[in-house]
Amino acid sequence: MPFSNKVGLIFSEDYQSYNFGKNHPLRPLRLALAYSLMEKLGLLENPRLEIISPRICTKEELAMVHSLEYIDAVKKLSDNPEDKTVYASRYGLGSGDNPIFKGMYEPSALICGGSLVAAEKVWNDDSFNILFNFAGGLHHALKDRASGFCIFNDIAVAIAQLKKLQKGIRIAYLDIDCHHGDGVQWLFYDDPDVLTISYHESGQFLFPGTGEINEEGEGKGKGFSINFPLLPGTNNKMYLNLFRKTIPRILETYQPDILITQLGVDTYFADPLTQMGLSIQAYRDIAQTIKTCAKDYCQNKWLALGGGGYLMTAVPRAWSLFLAKMLDVDVDNKLPESWIEEVKQNVPYENTPYMLWDRADKSEVDLLANPEVAKKMIEYINSLIKICEEKFLPPLTKR
Ligand SMILES: [Zn+2]
């Protein structure tokens, strides 16, 4: 075998069909621009990388997580959005967040199938240690309803499949999207074999409103849901300090058989839907910590999925940096001219970036002007580190 430690990138042009319409913030363009940037940076030519096509997952596979009633409702509305025999709102569909669109079933099932292919590959094929499906990560979808731009929960379906492939498998799920990873948390809330960890802007300020510290799991799963609700404006330094002092400890203590990450990048300071303060530099550091943890504490198996992120010029850069880290490639801090042109044409209304990552930490500048606020935020981060030590870690050792 010429290369072990291969990285698989799951991608299809058909992902573009997961499209709620031109006024919806989740624009498929971000996937196209991400793939294009990865290509123009030369990452797709890397000998360790293999591009893998997703498949449409079957109704039976969806039913490992979703109710048949819900799956049928999505299919009917997909075939005929005017179908009045289906009470769409009962299933979370047709609202502002999750508008019904013709043909929505197939791309939803394709994204889900992409995460399934990725899960199967990373588990069954030892030549791969990382699989990345950046169209996936639809973490809000619930058993019988769509939520927060998510129709089917590809993460939960991938977890269910892994549990089927390996009895007793222990899975750590880390969600860094700015929104709480509620769907995955609730679907495995009583399961000690699925540890869910979510880093997010506090539900006091942001959809879906959950993800408090006291949401710790129930029954046998008590202690196996972990939440880090963060304050708006949390900057690189604060975030990374907390991340490095908690995530490696949690994973080292739990010793999972595999790590799954949801890599939403809507924690970016200029994201239009959120109020966090990270710059793209932070994602390089987060990627490094995750990669080391996957290798040291998670049997060197890492299933990476995408997630939120609503600036077309930011998401592709963040995910390209994740992919570069997965491949151990050092990239220069500049953007290919041809990609800059592509961005100018496709998103003329966003500021055109010229650097791959921005160090400029706008939140840090804001906080320097407000030392009292900064002090409170640092104290809050320190309190979370303490809570992790005293409350989150002890139940994990009992496993
Ligand atoms: Zn999000």
Instruction: Measure the CA–CA gap between 267 and 199, rounded to whole angstroms.
Output: 10
Q: Read off the pLDDT of residues 334-357 as tens digits, 9 standing for 90 and up.
A: 999 999 999 999 999 999 999 999
Please report how many Cα atoms fall inside a 13 Å half-sphere around the Cα of residue 289, on the Cβ side: 22
Catalytic site includes residue 180: no
Q: Read off the pLDDT of residues 178-222 as tens digits, 9 standing for 90 and up.
A: 999 999 999 999 999 999 999 999 999 999 999 999 999 999 999
Cis-peptide, bond into residue 394, ω within 30° of zero: no
What's the pTM?
0.97
List, in sequence order, the alpha helices (H) in the chain.
29-40, 59-62, 68-79, 105-124, 154-165, 182-187, 236-254, 280-297, 315-326, 337-346, 362-368, 371-387, 393-397
CA of 98 to the centre of ligand 1 (A): 14
Instruction: Measure the CA–CA gap between 181 and 162, rounded to whole angstroms.
Output: 19
pLDDT of residue 2 exceeding 90: no
β-pairing, 302-305 vs 258-262, is parallel
- 193 neighbors 168 (Cβ within 8 angstroms): yes
Q: Report the chain's mean pLDDT, rounded to a whole number.
A: 96
Instruction: Measure the CA–CA gap between 396 and 251, rounded to whole angstroms.
Output: 9
Q: Which of 291, 288, 313 is nearest to 302 (CA)?
A: 291
Which one from 24, 66, 139, 140 is the annotated catalytic residue? 140
- 43 neighbors 121 (Cβ within 8 angstroms): no
Question: Looking at this protein, which amino acid is placed at residue 165?
Answer: L
**Residue 399 pLDDT level (bands cut at 50, 70, 90):** low
Q: What is the pLDDT of residue 6?
A: 97
CA of 397 to the centre of ligand 1 (A): 31
Q: Read off the pLDDT of residues 98-107 as tens digits, 9 standing for 90 and up.
A: 999 999 999 9
Strand ranges of the sheet holding 128-133, from the earlier edge strand across to the other edge: 49-52, 6-10, 128-133, 302-305, 258-262, 171-175, 194-201, 225-230
Q: What is the pLDDT of residue 121?
A: 98
pLDDT of residue 4 exceeding 80: no
CA of 266 to the centre of ligand 1 (A): 6
Instruction: Measure the CA–CA gap between 340 and 334, rounded to whole angstroms.
Output: 10
Tokens 């880093």 correspond to: 199
Distances (CA, A) of 130 to 50, 84, 188: 11, 44, 23
CA of 29 to the centre of ligand 1 (A): 17
Quote the radius of gyration of the chain (alpha carbons, Å): 20
CA of 310 to the centre of ligand 1 (A): 9
Please state at what angle helix 280-297 crosses helix 236-254, rounded to 10 degrees.
10
User: Mean pLDDT, to the nearest integer, of 60-71?
Assistant: 98
Q: What is the pLDDT of residue 20?
A: 97
Q: Read off the pLDDT of residues 236-267 as tens digits, 9 standing for 90 and up.
A: 999 999 999 999 999 999 999 999 999 999 99
pLDDT of residue 307 exceeding 70: yes
% the chain with pLDDT above 70: 98
Cβ-proximal residues to 91 (8 Å cutoff; 6+ apart), any chain = 70, 73, 74, 144, 145, 146
Q: Read off the pLDDT of residues 314-339 as tens digits, 9 standing for 90 and up.
A: 999 999 999 999 999 999 999 999 99
CA of 392 to the centre of ligand 1 (A): 24
β-pairing, 128-133 vs 302-305, is parallel
Q: What is the pLDDT of residue 240?
A: 97
pLDDT of residue 77 exceeding 70: yes
Maximum separation of any 2 CA atoms in the chain, in Å: 58
CA of 213 to the centre of ligand 1 (A): 19
Instruction: Measure the CA–CA gap between 322 and 38, rounded to whole angstroms.
Output: 10
- 304 neighbors 322 (Cβ within 8 angstroms): yes
CA of 274 to the centre of ligand 1 (A): 8
Three-state SS at 90: helix
% the chain with pLDDT above 90: 95
Instruction: Measure the CA–CA gap between 109 and 105, rounded to whole angstroms.
Output: 6
Instruction: Measure the CA–CA gap between 321 and 30, rounded to whole angstroms.
Output: 15
CA of 341 to the centre of ligand 1 (A): 27
Q: What is the pLDDT of residue 1?
A: 46
Q: What is the pLDDT of residue 305?
A: 98
Q: Read off the pLDDT of residues 18-59 as tens digits, 9 standing for 90 and up.
A: 999 999 999 999 999 999 999 999 999 999 999 999 999 999
Tokens of 328: 């151990």
DSSP state at residue 357 = S
pLDDT of residue 119 exceeding 90: yes
